[in-house]
Amino acid sequence: MKTALVTGSAGFVGRHMAAELTARGWAVDGVDLNGHTRQDALDLFRTDITRYDLVVHCAARTPHRAAIDRQPATMAYNLHLDAAMFDWVLRTGQKRVLYLSSSAVYPVGFQDGSEPWKLHETNTDSAHGIMPDAGYGWTKLTGEKMAAAATEDGVGLAVHVVRPFSGYGEDQGEDWPFGAFVGRARRREDPFQIWGDGQQVRDWIHISDVVAGALAVVDQDVREPVNLCTGRGVAMTQLAELVVTTVGYQPWVEYLPHAPRGVAYRVGDTARFFDVYQPKVTLEEGVARAVRPGVGV
């Protein structure tokens, strides 16, 4: 039986990743401060010597918009966490790592909305004037540099880097826009609040496709970074309209211009990803799955 370690296994991506690997017949160990083990991944990296067939590194502290903009100190923790993970991987002779990076690594200059630029994996090259999205973007870009360095010493380590765009799903918390919109709609809030001006465009990809796409990258042994995206841009206002319409009410919308809003336009180039995996869940289907339990409540 193949074995896997999933860090951040109680988080949104981590718990879905652990569940999918288990469903595929893997023996999965999870580590998360908020999980049933209540173990810090940093402690595991200091002491554990177990060797796994796959290490899936999802752990990060509060990687949502409010924290990215308002809690910059998380950058130091996340850098420490990634460095400790790669040190442990090399020290204990792990052979394969799936590193969950982020679309935040891309230069914000490509995401100002002046043109609908679809972000290609090569857009992080230094020739493009790197300026990632806040400290979190720098953290993940540095993590990718660590990943590249870890494979250069001839130990036979394989590292797969994936860059999820706006992942969402039925059980997502309200710290993220999709989860917040679903929660507000289930409560039939009126007014319905949207951070920023509502014109921020995102590439929404269902969590099942994030997980299946990432594992397809591993299965096909892709060693270059891969976007996890759909190539379809949908604005926050459009998403809110879809959510409330699916629930069945039409509130007045209140925009919060001083709340964290992020970049104007973030949509991924799908060419590399679609060679590996084709997303299965449309945004409309994903919204219906999420709000169905709350309809009529």
Calculate ∠ Cα 139-144-148, nearest 5°. Answer: 145
Cβ contacts of 282 within 8 Å, gap of 6 or more: none
Categorize the per-residue pLDDT at 295 as very low, low, confident or very high, splitting at 50, 70 and 90: very low
Give me the torsion for CA of 253, 104, 53, 153, rounded to 10°: 180
Residue 211 lies in a domain: yes
pLDDT at residue 297 greater than cutoff 70: no
The single residue listed with the structure tokens 């997303």 is: 279
Q: Please, what is the average pLDDT of the chain? A: 91
pLDDT, tens digit, 9 for 90 and up, residues 107-149: 988 898 888 899 999 998 765 567 777 788 999 999 999 999 9
Q: Report which listed range, 57-61, 63-67, 99-103, is most confident.
A: 99-103
Residue 262 lies in a domain: no
Using a pLDDT cut of 70, give the percent of the chain over it: 91
Residue 292 lies in a domain: no
Calpha distance 251→264 (Å, rounded): 24
Residue 261 lies in a domain: no
The domain tally of the chain equals 1
Across residues 181-193, what is the average pLDDT? 96
Strand partners, 168: 206
* 283 close to 128: Cβ distance less than 8 angstroms: no
Calpha distance 108→142 (Å, rounded): 16
Residue 240 lies in a domain: no
pLDDT at residue 63 greater than cutoff 80: no
The single residue listed with the structure tokens 């169905």 is: 292
pLDDT, tens digit, 9 for 90 and up, residues 139-153: 999 999 999 999 987
The CA R_g of the chain, rounded to the nearest whole Å, is 19
Calpha distance 262→165 (Å, rounded): 13
Categorize the per-residue pLDDT at 37 as very low, low, confident or very high, splitting at 50, 70 and 90: low
| Count of other CB atoms within 10 angstroms of residue 17 | 27
Residue 84 lies in a domain: yes
Q: Which of 55-69, 201-215, 220-234, 265-279 is the least confident region?
A: 55-69
At residue 291, what is the residue type? V
| Count of other CB atoms within 10 angstroms of residue 295 | 12
Residue 177 lies in a domain: no
**CA 118, 122, 125, 131 torsion-angle sign:** positive
Helix, strand, coil share of the chain (percent; to 5):
40, 20, 40
* 82 close to 55: Cβ distance less than 8 angstroms: no
* 96 close to 158: Cβ distance less than 8 angstroms: yes
Please choose, from the candidates 162, 182, 185, the residue with its C-alpha nearest in 3D space to the C-alpha of residue 172.
182
Residue 45 lies in a domain: yes
Strand partners, 201: 235, 265
Categorize the per-residue pLDDT at 62 as very low, low, confident or very high, splitting at 50, 70 and 90: low
Please choose, from the candidates 41, 21, 160, the residue with its C-alpha nearest in 3D space to the C-alpha of residue 98.
160
SS3 of residue 291 by DSSP: helix
Structure tokens at 155: 């130990």
pLDDT at 67: 43
Which domain range does residue 147 map to?
3-171+204-231+267-279
pLDDT, tens digit, 9 for 90 and up, residues 230-280: 999 999 999 999 999 999 999 999 999 998 888 999 999 999 999 999 999
Calpha distance 233→270 (Å, rounded): 12
pLDDT at 286: 97
Domain CATH number, residue 18: 3.40.50.720
